[in-house]
Amino acid sequence: LLILFRFGIGQPDLALCRRLMPPLMAKYPKGAVILYLRARLLLVSGEIDSAIYCFNNSIESQQEYKQFHHIAYWELLFAHCYVGEWARAANYAKRLLSESRWSRCVYTYLLCILFAADTTCDESKRIETVAVLARKIDGLRQKIAGKSIPLEKYCTRKASRFIAKQTLMFAHYEFMYFWNGFDIVAANSQILQGIFEDLQNIWHARQSRADADDRALYFFLRAVCLRNLRQPTAAENSLHEVLKLESELVDFTYLPPNAIYELALLRIAEGYREEAEVLLARARSYKGFSLENKLLFRIHAAMENLGSRTPMV
């Protein structure tokens, strides 16, 4: 329920989880951890509203370990994103920013992109708030043993792009992708269809101002939606559009290797094992791009599912 979605390709044994959950709930009906796991099970099953209810129950069940609340806030942030409740998601980003010490850089970036996504508030106020938040992000980066945190580097680069070019197009959906959000909402085709339609609407409204990076991101996210909506041919066509733009990309150089990985997933679903392995090796050959380790985890998990070993070099 946790590790496979965080680092793999989101294929846990849900049938086993569903068998184990009732006796655990009967024994620990108010246990914070059990309520959290039940919420996760509901979430990955596409029952977002029920998951939100259970995450809140987990929070209310204990007050001693505030750090456990922060884990639930993180989950609630994404749960509200899945159903397009950007203002509610932003409220959890605010709570994490004020209470958690994990990464003020990431929390500020999340607050920034969630404000940018929320079209219900006044546009001029929204743009001003996003600009103020974006300028703070670089100064909030941490170093561990003298090295920057990859996720914080990614957030800083995205914020720098906004400062330079005034665009955060699809940034909220992109972050969802890197946190395996699309694998979660794939269980609920209605929610996934809603995300796909929102992508289309945003694109039609803003494509005249889009540069190559924005275009590539649109085609990439479109492909991810289409793959999960079981439209493999259309998904593949969109992924090839990403690869056609590779030489023009300035900021989003991480999209081509991720697009090749997505092509490999299509081949796996179609039963073309050898083609999938070639594509995974090709994706793995890219170096030095944002969130590289996250993709390497996914490639390794895909190779394991194929019964193959990921080369050490």
Cα–Cα distance for residue pair 114/172, rounded to 1 Å: 6
Residue 202, domain extent = 169-313
pLDDT of residue 2: 64
Instruction: Give a three-class secondary structure readout of the chain.
Output: CCHHHHHCCCCCCHHHHHHHHHHHHHHCCCCHHHHHHHHHHHHHCCCHHHHHHHHHHHHHCCCCCHHHHHHHHHHHHHHHHHCCCHHHHHHHHHHHHHHCCCCHHHHHHHHHHHHHHCCCCCHHHHHHHHHHHHHHHHHHCCEECCEECHHHHHHHHHHHHHHHHCCCCCHHHHHHHHCCHHHHHCCCHHHHHHHHHHHHHHHHHHHHHCCHHHHHHHHHHHHHHHHHCCCHHHHHHHHHHHHHCHHHCCCCCCHHHHHHHHHHHHHHHHCCHHHHHHHHHHHHCCCCCCCHHHHHHHHHHHHHHCCCCCCCC
The CATH number of residue 256's host domain is 1.25.40.10
Cα–Cα distance for residue pair 221/172, rounded to 1 Å: 11
Same-domain check for residues 163 and 182: no
Tell me the angle at which helices 14-27 and 32-44 cross, rounded to the nearest 10 degrees.
150
Final residue before a domain boundary, out of 36, 60, 88: 88
The CATH number of residue 56's host domain is 1.25.40
Cα–Cα distance for residue pair 262/180, rounded to 1 Å: 13
Listed in order, strand segments (DSSP E) in 79-155 are 143-144, 147-148
Same-domain check for residues 251 and 184: yes
Per-residue pLDDT of the chain (313 residues; tens, 9 = 90+): 566 666 555 567 788 888 989 999 999 999 999 999 999 999 999 999 999 999 999 999 999 999 999 999 999 999 999 999 999 999 999 999 999 989 999 999 999 999 999 988 888 889 999 999 999 999 999 988 888 899 999 999 999 999 999 999 999 999 999 999 998 999 999 999 999 999 999 999 999 999 999 999 999 999 999 999 999 999 999 999 999 999 999 999 999 999 999 999 999 999 999 999 999 999 999 999 999 999 999 999 899 888 876 654 4
pLDDT of residue 14: 80
Residue 230 resides in a domain:
yes
Same-domain check for residues 234 and 160: no
Same-domain check for residues 155 and 130: yes
State pLDDT tens for residues 139-177. 999 988 888 899 999 999 999 999 999 999 999 999 999
Residue 78 resides in a domain:
yes
The answer to whether 54 and 38 are in contact (CB under 8 A) is: yes
Final residue before a domain boundary, out of 135, 153, 168: 168
What is the number of structural domains in the chain? 3
Same-domain check for residues 52 and 84: yes
* List of residues 6+ apart from 233 with CB closer than 8 A: none
Same-domain check for residues 268 and 251: yes
Residue 248 resides in a domain:
yes
Same-domain check for residues 239 and 309: yes
pTM: 0.93
pLDDT of residue 227: 97
Residue 93 resides in a domain:
no
CA angle 157, 260, 208 (to 5 degrees): 55
